[in-house]
Amino acid sequence: MPRPRAPDEAASPTGRPARNTPPAVAAAAARLGRDPRFRQALCDYCHGMAAPAPIPWPVYKMFDQLGRYLVSYMLIHNYYRWRHAGGPAPTMSALQAVAGSSARRTAGFVAALKLGRFVAVEADPADRRVKLLRPEPAMVAEIGRSMRLFVAVADAVAGRRPGRAARLADPDRLGEVVRRSAAAVLADGTLLHGFPRVLHFTLRDCGYPLLCAVVGAHYALAVPGAPPAVPLGRRALAARFQVSPAHIGNLVGEAERQGWFAVGRGGRLAFLSGDLLAEFERWAAGQTAHFDAVAGAALAAPPRRGPDAPA
């Protein structure tokens, strides 16, 4: 189950469930859960989240673990708060204040992001002694991938043509969605922590993409017109998610012991718990409602640039 959290992590808004979900978001999530088009749209979400990594660098292992994801998420928030909303400079110390992990762990991960060219360091135009952390488009795209796919779910259910998700291909628009979403987390807590099984998978390297692959395999059998199942064999998933077969085996074995799902011969889904599926669908409905509302607001109101931000 979830690892114990250090005191600084537990005290952070990123380590507790949201206390006051906006009524409009809660109502939209409930409507989505009842809509017969929602599950069909979720098929495409799961397929997209389980897609092979877009670049050779191990982006899934880099970002698809909750602690590292949150550092990246808040780094993007800080940069776009400065650039679009006149917020404070997006420095390392500013990131360490909101990342939800220790200062040392945050700095170490940012060093890895620099090495992978996902983050650039540049001088503040207002004071060149101050060093700013700027997320590169590749990182914004990967951290915002689930967000875009959830907005695409909302587009499909609402029948929007063109949809909002297509406009989020622009990294600055997507960065603004991240900023607004992270601001809600900092104010109130996360939508994730109310879903303990989903949380369990996000705490493991590549656990969430694996969960999406498993749910997608179920939909491939249960939902007419769903994309074909991703092969769930250890070697196939290891190659797809850029981790070791032993790691995949550990994830799947743990899920089998918990009675959540089982993988049979030939990498085919043998069993998926109805409780896990129901939790995933409730989680997805809340995420879809949240990100659709955030994207709608971001796309309707062009961001105000800070006085020293680049044009």
Residue written as token pair 């059998």: 221
pLDDT at 303: 57
Domain ranges of the chain: 7-12+43-300
Per DSSP, the residues of the chain read -PPPPPHHHHHSGGGSB-S---HHHHHHHHHHHH-HHHHHHHHHHHHHHTSPPSSSS-HHHHHSSHHHHHHHHHHHHHHHHHHHH------HHHHHHHSSS-HHHHHHHHHHHHHTTSEEEEEETTEEEEEEEEE-HHHHHHHTHHHHHHHHHHHHHHT-SS-HHHHTTSHHHHHHHHHHHHHHHHHH-BSSTT-HHHHHHHTSTTHHHHHHHHHHHHHHHHSTTPPPPPP--HHHHHHHHTS-HHHHHHHHHHHHHHTSEEE-GGG-EEEE-HHHHHHHHHHHHHHHHHHHHHHHHHHHSPPPPPTTS--
Question: For residues 19 and 289, which has the higher predicted lDDT (pLDDT)?
Answer: 289
pLDDT at 170 exceeding the cut of 70: yes
pLDDT at 107: 95
How many C-alpha atoms does 49 have within 13 Å on its Cβ side? 31
Question: For residues 60 and 139, which has the higher predicted lDDT (pLDDT)?
Answer: 139
pLDDT at 89 exceeding the cut of 60: yes
| Weakest mean pLDDT among 75-79, 87-91, 270-274, 298-302 | 298-302
Model confidence at 307, in pLDDT bands (50, 70, 90)? very low
pLDDT at 9 exceeding the cut of 50: no
